[in-house]
Amino acid sequence: MRNTRFILRAVRPIILCLVSLATQAYATDFQATGLFANGATLGGTLTIDTNVGTVTASDLTISGAGTFSTLISQFNYGPPVFYSVIADNAAGTEEFSFGLLADSLVGYTGGDFCGDSNGSCFSSVFYPTSDPSNQVSLSSGSLIGTSGAAPEPTTLSFLGIAFAAGLMFHYGGRKRNGSSVKE
């Protein structure tokens, strides 16, 4: 009986860590390329949690308009439409409103942006925030996966906390139950 309790206490931290690993988020980086109607180019990366199906970070650049890194909104229009995202540039003077030709970002592996070259959704555009009617449309563009699934940094923190909590339960339980006293 005493060995069973010891084994259960010793295994508890491992179980907590495995539960943490099973529920962790996965971030995948995608390389963006594209060409706008005015000749501007699209580049940079977009990070997507492909387990949950949301964009977690943007580092998209449009030549002449800057880097679009502040995520403003995102919405899944669902099948058979597209996934929509709006991001601001660092100065907050331009917005990039883009759609991805995907029913969902869960399990997303890359694909085309909504653009003039495909009629499946509204064209992706960038525009000054002071004059949203002055839009420049994306003629064509795509996202290509550049990295496999990797745990996000917060997940690794939770894993460490779970392990530390398990150790505390294990060693704390020994003192409460009088395990240090010889029988």
Cis bond upstream, residue 13 (ω within 30): no
| Cα–Cα dist 30/133, whole Å | 29
Handedness of CA 13, 19, 20, 22 (dihedral sign): positive
Phi-psi label, residue 140: left if phi above 0, alpha if psi -120 to 50, beta otherwise: beta
Which residue type occupies 83? Y
Per-residue model confidence (pLDDT) at position 174 = 53
Which of 6, 1, 37 lies closest to 170 in space, CA to CA? Answer: 6
pLDDT for 57? 96
Q: How far apart are CA 110 and CA 101, in angstroms?
A: 9
* E-assigned strand segments in 79-176: 83-89, 94-100, 110-112, 125-128, 136-145, 150-151
Q: Which of 42, 71, 31, 43 is nearest to 55 (CA)?
A: 71
Handedness of CA 36, 38, 44, 45 (dihedral sign): negative
**Helix (H, G, I), strand (E, B), or coil: what is residue 6?**
helix
Cα(131)–Cα(76) distance, rounded to whole angstroms?
Answer: 26
Q: State phi, psi for 119 to the nearest 5 degrees.
A: -95, 20
pLDDT per residue of the chain (183 residues) written in tens, 0 to 9:
555 555 545 545 555 444 444 445 578 999 999 999 999 999 999 999 999 999 999 999 999 999 999 999 999 876 667 899 999 998 899 999 999 988 889 999 999 999 888 766 788 999 999 999 999 999 999 999 986 544 444 444 444 555 555 555 555 555 555 555 554
List residues bridging with 75 in a β-sheet. Answer: 84
On whether the CB atoms of residues 115 and 140 are closer than 8 A, the answer is: yes
